Structure 1
């Protein structure tokens, strides 16, 4: 059985630079009506740069909403209609000062399915070379390079809490264990 809900009405309640929020009235499968608050987001691109020595580049930056510094993979929000792959390459260059010879699509995931439309697209970058790092004017972060095994341990013991980073690192580790990690 496929489950679904039918939108009866959708009313914008907030429109910002990064997302829009709507208040929606829906019809449920049983015919009853309910409401939904939805955050509409253009999505994001995330990239994991893996060295020949099995090290991963991460960035450490302050995240205001959490009021703390977070260790995460390079990533950024998409502009409306922006190609996620081009955005991922841009973020790698901007945040880590790197370009890659090879990019592998690791798929997409939904970070917050209960109320947000955001999709995060993920890639693996290998065959790395340095380029000029050029952060946005309002962006402050520090790139770090750590062994892949250590980053996986950090996900498992809770030191890395960022969802896109955890999902991507665990996927890379699973591919490596299956002998399917592209180089």
Structure 2
């Protein structure tokens, strides 16, 4: 197979917008063929998400209104990383804040690039097990419902497209594979 470079090289960059969660940049890049074009890139600090798996094989999910889609979505607990925060710290913080869960075991299962064509966000995915429940501490602007969903119901809803959230789909399907389909060594 021929060794080709697909690398694009940044020539210049301009910040178009800087908000609390994202920054939008317009970059001029040189393509592999030498021509120039523009790329609009959303810069994001990153996030973590968690599949909280109970001993009875229920998964703790949250239901919350998502403004861009104008409806309530079912998702696994997640949130953006604070400045200087490690991904596992973010996962533990968000899990406790949103659901009141403190896990005995937190297992890293990989990273997700939700929209790599225009966004540099990385979502770090985890499974939480051996769960202890305390009082959740939602942010002042956070409104959600915590639901314990039977594992097979969540699996069905992901497969049939009832749950469309990318991080929930990816993290849950990885969890399912790791728990039930990966060959034991």
Q: TM-score, normalised by structure 1?
A: 0.95
Give the SS at the match of 2:163: coil
| Post-superposition offset of 1:180 | 6.5
Give the SS at the match of 2:138: coil
Structure 2 CA distance, aligned partners of 1:65 and 1:110? 19
Structure 2 CA distance, aligned partners of 1:114 and 1:179? 30
Q: What is the RMSD computed on CA atoms of the aligned residues?
A: 1.2
Residues 41 and 35 (structure 1 numbering): CA distance in 2 closer, same or farther, change over 3 Å? Answer: same
- Judge conservation of contact 2:43–2:119 (CA < 8 Å) in 1: yes
Give the SS at the match of 2:135: coil
Structure 1 CA distance, aligned partners of 2:144 and 2:130? 23
Q: Which runs of 5+ in 2 are unaligned?
A: none
Structure 2 CA distance, aligned partners of 1:105 and 1:180? 18
Partner of 1:166: 169
Q: Which runs of 5+ in 1 are unaligned?
A: none
Q: Deviations over 1:66-113 (max 9, x none)?
A: 111010000001123221111110111111111011110011110001
Structure 2 CA distance, aligned partners of 1:19 and 1:81? 16
Give the SS at the match of 1:117: coil
**Count of aligned pairs:** 181
Paired residue for 1:49, among 49, 52, 58? 52
Q: TM-score, normalised by structure 2?
A: 0.94
Q: Does 1:112 align with 2:115?
A: yes
Partner of 2:61: 58
Partner of 1:137: 140
- Judge conservation of contact 2:5–2:32 (CA < 8 Å) in 1: no
Large movers: runs of 4+ above 4 Å: none
Structure 1 CA distance, aligned partners of 2:98 and 2:122? 21
Q: Deviations over 1:5-59 (max 9, x none)?
A: 0000000010100010001000000000000000000011101110111110000
Structure 1 CA distance, aligned partners of 2:5 and 2:136? 47
| Post-superposition offset of 1:2 | 3.9
Give the SS at the match of 2:157: helix
Q: Does 1:40 align with 2:43?
A: yes
Structure 2 CA distance, aligned partners of 1:179 and 1:19? 37
